[in-house]
């Protein structure tokens, strides 16, 4: 593919769709035209693209005519219906939903880890992984290449923006109600998140895990190309607007010291080491907001499992966890 492509952003009125437009503009993506696409009810709305506005077009087969790259962030149902339509019209579809991630004919890509997989796309579709998976594998990839990771134990502390703009608004409303001593509305959060933690993803009754957790298991193996990696995840929603945090414990097949892990991470693409815990320096969600890099700190030997490692990994879930990853894939195509 060459520069000067026509790009469609599907789901342009959502928080991730708007972030995709922002990232395309900020990175100077070489497009001759960018179009904003959303549902019929959003048609005619205006969305920002740099210092100008784009008028939102209603999704339909004709909207994909001449489109070279279609960035989808409108939910799995929309992707399942319209992704193949866009691909049939000649676009390379980069989909941010869960619709195609485990499809054998759809590569699941994190550019810092496996960009070469994007070249083999029989359906014309490339999948963006889950936000929590993306930031984790960016940090794990250099360590896996060096010492072969055998097991990952991860607990996530996930920002409410990962559930969309209505969830952010609901948390704000709950905080106001608490401050005023008024009854709380649970709304789309389905529980009190203000001053609290929740685990409200779809549940898999057979395993006792949540859908969000199982994504991390299967996606990590597919991206790193190693089905033998054992992943033990726990996903938690926290009352933070933006920025997912993860506590990770690793077991590796070959010895890997904290010092060597730090060297590898400092040289790894997409990673910034923020680690001087003795001086109180470690990454926080506020540190990562608006940043492209995944921030890694608390690099240390696992005191409860000698020879193992522990890490603290933080990333902007709307940016690297969604929009930026998709745009980086598109950049690789051209």
- Give the mean pLDDT of the chain: 96
Q: Do 244 and 184 fall within a single domain?
A: yes
Does 293 share its domain with 232?
Answer: yes
Q: Are 97 and 175 in a shared domain?
A: no
Is residue 111 pLDDT above 90, yes or no? yes
Specify whether 93 is located in the same domain as 37.
yes
Residue of 113, 170, 244, 288 marked catalytic: 244
Would you say residue 162 has pLDDT above 90?
A: yes
Q: In the predicted model, what is the mean pLDDT of residues 5-27?
A: 96
On whether both 264 and 172 belong to a single domain, the answer is yes
For 165, counting Cβ atoms within 10 Å of its Cβ (0-12 exposed, 13-18 middle, 19+ buried), the class is middle
Residue 244 appears among annotated catalytic residues: yes
Start-to-end CA distance of the chain, whole Å, equals 5
- CATH number for the domain spanning 12: value is 3.40.50.720
Q: Are residues 177 and 296 in the same domain?
A: yes
Residues 165 and 234 in one domain: yes
180: helix, strand or coil? helix
Residue carrying the six token digits 């070489």: 30
Question: At 187, which CATH number?
Answer: 3.30.360.10
Selected catalytic residue, list 131, 144, 170, 288: 131
3-state secondary structure of 285: helix
What percent of the chain is modeled with pLDDT above 90? 98
Tell me which long-range contacts 289-298 makes (C-beta under 8 A, separation of at least 24).
289/242, 289/243, 289/316, 290/316, 290/319, 291/316, 291/319, 291/320, 292/319, 292/320, 292/324, 293/320, 294/135, 294/138, 294/139, 294/270, 294/320, 295/271, 296/139, 296/265, 296/271, 296/272, 297/273
Residues 143 and 266 in one domain: yes
What number is the average pLDDT over the span 22-33?
Answer: 96
Q: Do 91 and 26 sit in the same domain of this protein? A: yes
Q: What is the dihedral of CA 10, 13, 15, 18, to 10 degrees?
A: 70
Q: Is the pLDDT of residue 9 over 60?
A: yes
- Mean pLDDT calculated for residue range 103-108: 98
Percent of the chain with pLDDT over 70: 99
Total-model pTM = 0.94
Q: Which residue has the tokens 């549940």?
A: 203
pLDDT greater than 50 at residue 52: yes
Domain hosting residue 241, numbered range: 133-317
Domains of the chain: total: 2
Q: Looking at the structure, do residues 79 and 155 belong to the same domain, yes or no?
A: no
In this prediction, residue 4 carries a pLDDT of 87
What proportions of the chain, in percent to the nearest 5, are helix, strand and coil?
40, 25, 35
122 with 185, same domain: the answer is: no
Based on DSSP, count helices (H) and strands (E) in the chain, helices before strands. Answer: 9, 16
Question: Is 170 designated active site?
Answer: no
222-247: average pLDDT: 98
Find all residues with CB under 8 Å of 106, minimum gap 6, and list them.
100, 121, 123, 125, 126, 127
Element (H, E) at 213: helix 211-224
- What are the backbone dihedrals phi and psi of residue 192, each rounded to the nearest 5 degrees, phi first? -85, 115
Same domain assignment for residues 158 and 91: no
Q: How many whole angstroms from its chain centre is CA 217? A: 15
Q: What's the pLDDT score for residue 3?
A: 61
Distance CA 164, CA 282 (A): 27
- Partners of 315 in beta bridges: 244
Between 1-15, 38-52, 192-206, the lowest mean confidence (pLDDT) is in 1-15
Segment 133-151 mean pLDDT: 98
The answer to whether residues 323 and 252 touch, using CB atoms and an 8 Å cutoff, is: no
Closest CA to 173 of 187, 163, 159, 161: 187
Quote the Cα angle for 143-145-148, to 5°. Answer: 75
pLDDT of the residue at 1: 46
**Res. 190: pLDDT tops 50:** yes
């Amino acid at each position: 593919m060459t520069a000067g492509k026509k790009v469609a952003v599907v789901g342009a009125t959502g928080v991730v769709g708007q972030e995709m437009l922002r990232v395309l503009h900020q990175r100077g993506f070489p497009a001759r035209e960018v179009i904003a696409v959303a549902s019929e009810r959003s048609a005619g709305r205006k969305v920002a693209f740099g210092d100008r506005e784009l008028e939102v077009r209603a999704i339909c087969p004709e909207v994909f005519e001449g489109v070279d790259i279609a960035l989808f962030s409108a939910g799995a149902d929309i992707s399942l219906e319209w992704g193949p339509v866009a691909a049939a019209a000649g676009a390379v579809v980069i989909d941010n939903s869960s619709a195609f991630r485990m499809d054998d004919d759809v590569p699941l890509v994190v550019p810092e880890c496996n960009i070469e997989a994007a070249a083999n796309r029989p359906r014309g579709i490339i999948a963006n992984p889950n936000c929590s998976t993306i930031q984790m594998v960016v940090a794990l990839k250099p360590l896996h290449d060096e010492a072969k990771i055998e097991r990952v134990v991860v607990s996530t502390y996930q920002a409410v923006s990962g559930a969309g703009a209505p969830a952010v608004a609901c948390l704000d409303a709950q905080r106001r109600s608490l401050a005023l001593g008024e009854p709380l509305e649970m709304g789309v959060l389905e529980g009190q998140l203000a001053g609290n933690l929740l685990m409200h993803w779809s549940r898999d009754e057979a395993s006792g895990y949540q859908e969000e957790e199982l994504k991390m298991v299967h996606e990590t193996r597919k991206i790193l190309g190693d089905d033998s990696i054992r992943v033990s995840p726990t996903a938690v929603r926290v009352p933070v607007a933006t920025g997912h945090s993860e506590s990770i414990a690793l077991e590796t097949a070959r010895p890997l010291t904290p010092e060597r892990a730090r060297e590898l991470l400092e040289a790894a693409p997409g990673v910034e080491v923020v680690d001087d815990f003795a001086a109180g320096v470690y990454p926080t969600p506020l540190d990562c907001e608006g940043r492209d890099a995944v921030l890694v700190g608390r690099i240390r030997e696992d005191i409860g499992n000698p020879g193992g490692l522990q890490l603290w990994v933080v990333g902007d879930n709307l940016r690297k966890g969604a929009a930026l990853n998709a745009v980086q894939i598109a950049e690789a195509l051209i």
